[in-house]
Structure 1
């Protein structure tokens, strides 16, 4: 009845038995704030890709782990990966993009991805897959992957890491799922289509049992087959360079740069120090996170087209025109629904997908 694979308990020999029996590469996906021992055994056991980071596997997952500690723990993990790289063994690293998976504005997840990429590159990591969790508006989701790719490469180049390979991963819907299997396949296919149209390198697949607990192997296989079918049909189509995507992407880039520039400023050149200071100041703030090291001031809600906007920007260091952009987008919805912009919109949006909708209409 175990939901998972206890690598630390099994040790390298059993890990080798599994990884050697497979033709495809295998990634470790976990959720551990302190992953040092897990990293050692995983890579020695033949796993060739490793997910997580000092922010993305702390703030959305834990209450009492300090960022100073988890960033240091993950510097150890990234240095170990860097040592393997220097020895001629390339290990892929993947920051966890979706964070809490609930109405995360793309600028926040993109900022965390860029920070964790740079922290990894500092330790010698050469192969990084930056991730993003589906928000639901196709245009915004495609723009988010486009801007994530652009920003990650740009910041790596800016700081002298020209030899890092960057790929992208799109996570299918991370929020509430409908219990009906047919409806769940609809949600899975919708995520698959968006991943294909965004030209993401990889897609993380959900199952039709998502709403009910641990899926069977058959349910996992069914989710994979549905995803492959949609991606195969959309292989030759792209929305990456259409004008409306370019416009949304430009906004995400501007927002993300506002956050990242302040993080670097707070750290006075030390990205790890700047990250800790940014969370203390609310410059970095992840919605609905359990961590007491997270300000929890930022409040997202959907606009009238289902794109995630920010109802309360908290202490995010946005320019006034960006704040006005978010206000206007939510006021458009307010006028359509004949109700004020309020916290009730947030509540309605969180539960909407489980009820068969994207926007939580009254």
Structure 2
């Protein structure tokens, strides 16, 4: 099965001034998964395909995945380790080709079984990371996740010996989906990119999720691009933007307007790829038609000409992210060990994250201008807020912050 390398496909499109759009689609039933891939490929957009895996496979509960398939129970994603390889190859046959690469998306802190399965199918693009697929999703110790991702990266990197160009995307710019200040998102994404490169992968993508302020998000993507240029020499990389991952607008109009804003942000900031969300997100599991609508909406917005904007590479976001990244990389020559030391000392600390290996001493808030700011910085190696919040954050405060974007786009 021949396919253009994932990173090369995206980079070529970006060089032409075309935004690549991608769904997060995954279905347990092979025929439906094939239909979803085919519809993505046929959409009026430049697309790449997605095999998003089910929850059982993500946590290595393959027995439950097998039982669900045997009993005809619908899964929330594709069980790549359960369906026979011949079945999965039929799903991909005639769809994955030189014009349509496919990426596996999963959410696993310990993904060796997933890497083994995707490699056996001739796939070579996936995503995640030792921090970004550990801290938000469960209680797997961070050290176990780092060791597992070392092994998994080595598995993927060995594909280079066959002439393939394996690609790995950091999920670091999406930590918890919302309420994490942009500088931390940028730092985790860059640090995971360095981790991937150190373990033999020379085609990577760095992520950032749309947050609460368009202007601040532009600063963040510019900071991400600048740090990648500084720290990933000799590595092919691009930036992937995620449409807002928090509480989504309930109205169809509001949801598509938010997606359109994400598409504009991607173009204005120089991101090469956009992960879309559908207008159905607030109500139900999206259908294939919902996903195609989102892909075509984002692509149409991206094709709209707009004047170039001023560079925003110098910003508070860049200064904070650079301080975080360089502090961590200075802790140990091995980036995995550096990450472990940093979280152990609270030098990296994700607000509102309950994982046992996260210090939990930082907090954030949405200011009056809609920008995400630090209210408490704990032991982070950045300047503390001028007026740190001493007021205890109430559940009402948190709910108001979480629904900030939804209310803005549904009003």
The TM-score normalised by the length of structure 2 is: 0.76
Residue matched to 2:81: 8
Counterparts of 2:376 and 2:75, CA distance in 1: 40
Q: 2: CA distance between counterparts of 1:18 and 1:143?
A: 40
Structure 2 equivalent of residue 178 of structure 1 = 249
Is the 8 Å Cα contact of residues 25 and 48 (structure 1) preserved in structure 2? Answer: no
Shift of 1:347: 4.1
Partner of 1:89: 164
Give the whole-Å Cα distance in 2 for the aligned partners of 1:327 and 1:301: 14
Aligned to 1:257: 322
Q: Which has the higher contact order (CA 8 A, sep 6+)?
A: 2
Question: Per-residue CA shift, 1:168-188, capped at 9, x if unaligned?
Answer: 000001100122222211211
Match of 2:149 in 1: 74
Whole-Å Cα distance in 2 between the matches of residues 277 and 213 of structure 1? 41
Report if aligned partners of 2:258, 2:409 keep a CA contact under 8 Å in 1. Answer: no
Aligned 1:1-362 pairs, distance under 5 A: 1-22=74-95, 23=97, 24-62=100-138, 64-96=139-171, 97-157=173-233, 162=234, 164-234=235-305, 237-239=307-309, 242=310, 245-248=312-315, 251-267=316-332, 269-318=333-382, 322-323=383-384, 326-327=385-386, 343=393, 345-356=397-408
Cα distance 1:45–1:301, how it changes in 2: closer, same or farther (>3 A)? same
CA contact (8 A) 1:12 1:42 kept: no
Distance change >3 Å, CA 54–CA 6, structure 1 → 2: same
2:51 corresponds to which residue? none
Q: Do 1:67 and 1:293's aligned partners in 2 also have CA atoms closer than 8 Å?
A: yes
* Cα deviation 1:35-68 (Å, max 9, x = unaligned): 1011111122132310101111000111x21111
Residues of 1 paired with 2:249 and 2:243: CA distance? 14
Cα deviation code 1:218-242 (max 9, x no counterpart): 11111111111111114x5443xx1
**Aligned 8 A contact 1:28 1:51 in 2:** yes
Counterpart contact for 1:61–1:290, Cα < 8 Å? no
- Extract unaligned runs of 5+ from structure 2: 1-73
On the 8 A contact 2:104/2:125 being kept in 1, the answer is yes
2:110/2:149 contact within 8 Å kept: yes
1-side partners of 2:187 and 2:374: how far apart?
Answer: 15
Secondary structure in 2 aligned to 1:70?
Answer: helix
Mapped to 2, the partners of 1:149 and 1:356 lie a distance apart of 28
Contact 2:257 2:409 in 1 (8 A): no
Structure 2 equivalent of residue 336 of structure 1: none
C-alpha contact (below 8 Å) 1:111/1:256 kept by paired residues:
yes
In the TM superposition, residue 107 of structure 1 has moved relative to its aligned partner by: 1.4
**SS of structure 2 residue aligned to 1:213:** coil
Structure 2 SS opposite 1:233: coil
Output the CA distance in 1 between the equivalents of 2:284 and 2:346. Answer: 34
RMSD over aligned CA atoms reads: 2.1
TM-score normalised according to structure 1 size = 0.86
Q: Which runs of 5+ in 1 are unaligned?
A: 332-339
Please list the CA deviations of residues 182-232 of structure 1 after superposition, one character each: whole Å capped at 9, or x if unmatched.
221121111111112112010000001111231111111111111111111
In the alignment of these two chains, the number of paired residues is 331
